[in-house]
């Protein structure tokens, strides 16, 4: 016990979104998927081609066998069966797939891992292990949850993670913005995560998550998604509402515009939308849905920091870019 000395940053307490029994708190979503496979006793994991390569690489590093499956334009797995001792990862893409849709997809398989890394607020499905990534929705340096039967197994075998040494970018973002020294500091944190083994969630991340106002995040993201639908549905080649219902809390608005020049122009204008999983352009067939999404997806930011003004600005810039072609 320590008493006295300087006062640290203080966070609220008692608000953590996921708590109780059968909850594992870990350092990253990729570690969460590995942990889920371990709990299920599966040495082989079926992943969709359309997923971040960090998941694949982590599973391989942990000596699991990785197999792949394709999806169709409705994000349905194009695979009918898997071996009884294998696990399959089903991804809640962009956070726009309802719990009902995920339940329907999961019924075809045993040993299902729902990857809700893009859908922090999607309710866990009872018969599955459900993985959540905190830092895609909340300003934390790391952190993930695995929820489901026996999810808290093996936790005493994992080392404690520490994130305060590389969390400076979260503070710098407030004062310096996201470029320059802030970006460099963030990449140091990314390197820490990329090179880390599976660990227990850091105490700093847990403290932030225990003091977060989740109701505000939920309401703001839903509101912003509706605004984005109004602004972008007319030019979107993807139906962002195909599996959406009122329970969804999206990570982004998934905009598909078949124009390679738009994203670079947005970045030039400090509209920092990522280019997801471009590595797939060299690994899948050009006529596949995975190639199409990887090439053209523009994940429009709709998080709780922003509102109608920022989304309208993004829309206007987008239309200027498209009209200028």
Q: Give the integer Cα–Cα distance in Å for 66 and 167.
A: 32
User: What confidence tens digit (pLDDT) does each residue in 272-282 have?
Assistant: 887 789 999 99
Longest dimension (CA), the chain: 64
What is the CATH topology of the domain spanning 23-161+196-210?
3.40.640
Find, among 88, 14, 7, the residue nearest to 48 by Cα. Answer: 88
**pLDDT at residue 325, rounded to an integer:** 56
Q: Mention every residue, 6+ apart, whose C-beta is less than 8 A from residue 300.
A: 228, 232, 252, 253, 254, 255, 273, 311, 314
Find, among 154, 87, 97, the residue nearest to 121 by Cα. Answer: 97
**pLDDT at residue 7, rounded to an integer:** 76
Residue 309 has pLDDT above 70, yes or no: yes
User: What confidence tens digit (pLDDT) does each residue in 18-63 have?
Assistant: 998 899 999 999 999 999 999 999 999 999 999 999 999 999 999 9
H-helix or E-strand spanning residue 296: helix 289-296
Q: Give the integer Cα–Cα distance in Å for 299 and 170.
A: 21
User: What confidence tens digit (pLDDT) does each residue in 90-122 have?
Assistant: 999 999 999 999 999 999 999 999 999 999 999
Indicate yes or no: pTM above 0.85.
Answer: yes
**Domain positions in the chain:** 23-161+196-210, 214-323
User: What confidence tens digit (pLDDT) does each residue in 255-270 have?
Assistant: 999 999 998 898 888 8
What are the structure tokens assigned to 324, written together? Answer: 């200028």
| Mean pLDDT of all residues in 149-176 | 96
In whole numbers, what is the pLDDT of the chain averaged over residues? 95
What are the structure tokens assigned to 241, written together? Answer: 């509402």
| Mean pLDDT of all residues in 116-129 | 97
**pLDDT at residue 2, rounded to an integer:** 79
What is the CATH topology of the domain spanning 214-323?
3.90.1150
Identical fold between 23-161+196-210 and 214-323: no
């Amino acid at each position: 016990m320590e008493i006295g000395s300087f006062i640290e940053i203080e966070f609220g307490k008692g608000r953590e979104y996921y708590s109780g029994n059968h909850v594992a708190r870990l350092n990253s979503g990729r570690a969460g998927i590995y942990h889920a496979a371990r709990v299920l006793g599966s040495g082989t994991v079926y992943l969709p081609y359309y997923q971040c390569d960090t998941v694949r690489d982590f599973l391989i590093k942990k000596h699991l066998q990785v197999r792949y499956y394709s999806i169709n334009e409705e994000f349905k797995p194009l695979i009918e069966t898997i071996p009884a001792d294998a696990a399959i990862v089903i991804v809640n893409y962009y956070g726009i797939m309802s719990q009902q849709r995920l339940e329907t997809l999961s019924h075809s398989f045993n040993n299902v891992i729902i990857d809700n890394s893009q859908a922090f607020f999607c309710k866990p499905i009872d018969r599955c292990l459900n993985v959540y990534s905190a830092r895609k929705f909340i300003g934390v340096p790391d952190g993930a949850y695995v929820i489901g039967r026996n999810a808290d197994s093996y936790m005493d075998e994992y080392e404690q993670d520490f994130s305060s040494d590389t969390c400076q970018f979260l503070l710098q973002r407030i004062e310096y913005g996201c470029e320059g020294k802030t970006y460099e500091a963030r990449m140091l944190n990314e390197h820490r995560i990329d090179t880390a083994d599976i660990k227990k969630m850091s105490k700093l991340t847990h403290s932030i998550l225990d003091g977060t106002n989740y109701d505000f995040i939920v309401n703001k993201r839903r509101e912003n998604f509706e605004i984005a639908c109004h602004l972008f549905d007319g030019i979107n080649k993807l139906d962002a509402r195909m599996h959406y219902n009122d329970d969804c809390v999206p990570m982004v608005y998934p905009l598909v515009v078949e124009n390679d020049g738009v994203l670079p122009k947005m970045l030039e204008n400090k509209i920092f939308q990522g280019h997801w999983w471009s590595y797939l352009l060299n690994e899948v067939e050009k006529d596949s849905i995975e190639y199409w999404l990887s090439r053209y997806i523009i994940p429009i930011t709709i998080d709780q920091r922003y509102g109608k003004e920022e989304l309208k600005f993004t829309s206007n810039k987008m239309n200027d870019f498209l009209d200028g072609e």
